Amino acid sequence: MSRCFAAAVLALAAVSAARADLYVVAHASNPQASLTQQQVLELFMGRQRAFADGSFALVFDLPRDNPVRERFYQQVAGMSPAQVN
């Protein structure tokens, strides 16, 4: 896969029933090692379409009815998915 194609994917890794972490995952060829919460917000809100190096960021989101998606937008944007869409 080329470096210009980078995908950000929201994923859930359940650590325990009481605690679960949210992750944003990019393709292994993406040179950007980490993203700030603001950068993640900009990508998922469609305000930013590229990573810092200029490579295109194709964002994939969880289905609208997924509770993890709701938690993600609450934590990252302080909004419900209904407010985001």
Q: pLDDT tens digits, residue range 24-77?
A: 888 888 888 888 999 999 999 999 999 988 989 999 988 988 888 888 899 889
| Buried-exposed string 33-64: b where 16+ CB fall within 10 A, e elsewhere | eebeeebbbebbeeebeebeeebebebeebee
Residue 20 pLDDT grade (very low, low, confident, very high; cuts 50, 70, 90): low
Please provide residue 69's backbone torsions phi and psi, each rounded to the nearest 5 degrees. Answer: -60, -45
Q: Greater confidence, 26 or 20? A: 26
**pTM score of the predicted model:** 0.71
SS3 7: strand
**pLDDT score recorded for residue 48:** 94
Cα–Cα distance, 52 to 70 (Å, whole number): 26
**pLDDT score recorded for residue 64:** 86
